[in-house]
Structure 1
């Protein structure tokens, strides 16, 4: 991975005024996993490259694959929207930390229905995804949306085909709001790979419904829906509702930063929020790779907030960033 014959003989003033020498890290960084977080790391990577001359190669292959990549030393870091348990972290000698918060949103392709016009509550959303509700003219949808002209059109639920932290978080939410929902209870609809694959499938499928990280909905100009939150309010997926949910996080009691942001109690909170996580070796054998990886995430956490917000994520609280960097092995 590292080409010691290609040393770069220059130094730059890096994060927090620390002199960063590119000669110490002479090759690109590699990471992979979460498609939810892919835009974030690629965005940070552009600024990091400009400052240090190093490039990040990131594979958007899903959270499950990201976990395997770092466990098998297939990448410098793995990215996952599903945090690992303390036992798995210990047994694989991994350090886990969050990098940002993001929202999972519901996207639809229903003729005549504009973005955020449709309102859904938790049980109705679960019924759309498990195949119980089969047409967009179903009485339950009409009751929630008395002012909309809902077409007599088949519902086509679309979900992820690969192991996915986004799917896990969304399924956890459905179980929270519809107690009979169980993981894997997807209706008779197509599968797609990654957030980008689901977004493309919904865009191409009349009657389609899916779930993606918010940035993919915005970038693909897809119609989203309002959801009924824990406080009983129908809220739109937007920065104000995301921030409202994020500020309610109980970081002080989160085991290895695995904070729960589903159904946050704030009155205007978006109900499906999640932190996205990174995994790195707790006892790295390649100290050069470890130092370069830490420099990348120090840059992102300390200098990347503008990029984080521009890409529709919510930055971590400053106190959490400081804990992450001070606790890094």
Structure 2
């Protein structure tokens, strides 16, 4: 069971000082109102179901600034978002995962641009215990998804939850069947916390899931929540932007064991704590894993939410429109205010990463 020590509080001053992730700070001159499309232009954004709710909020807000710009959003999974951006079918591929090295080498004009920081919930449907906040760890989750831990009362789960009456019932692990950034960051957590998983299944937007009796496949974050709600004794991984749906379905959310051995839930403080030590490590191309970071408060599954965009666009008008939308999205007086990010439980980029992203956006041209 979790207790009050799992979620230590920080003051507002400490929070802002840590990594400047609140929606305040330096405003990049000319971002808001800059680079808006003068002509009628259409932008297709497709990909991450985790980022999809935020893009819908952004479209509503940005339409007041650029009313002639037409933006279509689709929730198709990060793998599809990356693929369609590379092919030029979509102008913005939304992804929880950065492009893989071979993809980058083959497509050198593609940009991986962080827009915000998000996290992932581990959810479960355990009759009578959904309000108990059952602790989970990387090795236990790897055991469940590899088929080595099959029952809820397994001693490994019991050891993380002393005093909890766990049922003698088979576990139903749910995984994504579409190319998914959520799968990417979930399997990264398993890989970084469990060497055996790293050497066998490893990580990716798609993986060869071990055959597990009772295992269930689902599509998108909505499908993961719905499947978990419909299947008692199941467990799943779902992006934080679907917390309202998780709560509405009455599902449990697990505190996760971090690198320091503490059990924490995702919230602004624990997301900031995880990101703070990795900001300076973010490379120029901005492709970096934020998984399993150091720190007692650090939540172990966080990530940059990426826009995958071709720096070489077919027209000046389209390049201008994409730049306008993305620069507004990352601005702390635009799309990165709490009015947008808090609704999906995301955290704004720190100043250093926002300036990095702005520089990358500025390279988009015809």
Per the normalisation by structure 2, the TM-score is 0.81
The aligned counterpart of 1:73 is 88
Alpha-carbon distance in 2 for matches of 1:141, 1:80: 32
SS of the equivalent of 1:146 reads: coil
Q: Could you say which residue in structure 2 is the equivalent of 1:148?
A: 164
Q: Which residue number corresponds to residue 349 of structure 2? A: 316
Kindly provide the CA deviation profile for residues 86-111 of structure 1, in whole angstroms up to 9, marking residues without a partner as x: 55335322122111111112100001
1:217–1:223 contact (8 Å) kept in structure 2: no
Tell me which moved more, 98-107 or 176-185: 176-185
The count of residues paired between Structure 1 and Structure 2 equals 315
1:195 matched to 2:221? The reply is yes
Q: Distance in 2 between matches of 1:326 and 1:176?
A: 31
Deviation of the 1:281 alpha carbon = 1.5
Greater mean alpha carbon deviation, residues 154-163 or residues 123-132: 123-132
Gaps of 5+ in 2: 1-28, 202-207
User: Does the C-alpha gap of structure 1 residues 87 and 251 become closer, same or farther in structure 2, counting only changes over 3 Å?
Assistant: farther
Residue from 124, 144, 147 that aligns with 1:131? 147
- 1:240–1:218: structure 2 CA closer, same or farther, 3 Å change rule? farther
Q: Does 2:266 match 1:250?
A: no
* 1:304 corresponds to which of 307, 332, 335: 335
Deviations 1:13-72 (A, max 9, x none): x964646665x2314321111112111211111100122213421111111111121122
The residue correspondences of 1:207-222 to structure 2 (distance < 5 A) are 207-221=233-247, 222=251
After alignment, is 93-102 or 108-117 more displaced? 108-117
Decide whether aligned partners of structure 1 residues 141 and 97 sit closer, same or farther in structure 2, where only a CA change above 3 A counts. Answer: same
Question: Among residues 314, 325, 328, which one is paired with 2:358 in the alignment?
Answer: 325
Aligned to 2:264: 235
CA distance in 2, matches of 1:45, 1:112: 40
Matching residue of 1:5: none
Structure 1: how far apart are the matches of 2:355 and 2:266?
29
Alignment of 1:24-35 (within 5 A): 24-35=38-49
Aligned with 1:51: secondary structure? coil
Q: TM-score, normalised by structure 1?
A: 0.89
Q: Which has the higher contact order (CA 8 A, sep 6+)?
A: 2
Give 3-state SS (helix, strand or coil) of 2:93's partner: strand
**More divergent stretch after superposition (90-99 vs 40-49):** 90-99
Considering only aligned residues, what root-mean-square deviation do their CA atoms show, in Å?
2.0
Residue 271 (structure 1) shift: 0.5
Contact 2:34/2:324 (8 A) holds in 1: no
Equivalent of 2:127, from 111, 123, 126?
111
Residue aligning to 1:165:
181
Counterpart of 2:291 in structure 1 is: 262
Does 2:76 correspond to 1:50?
Answer: no
Contiguous gaps of at least 5 residues in structure 1 = 1-13
SS in 2 for 1:57: strand
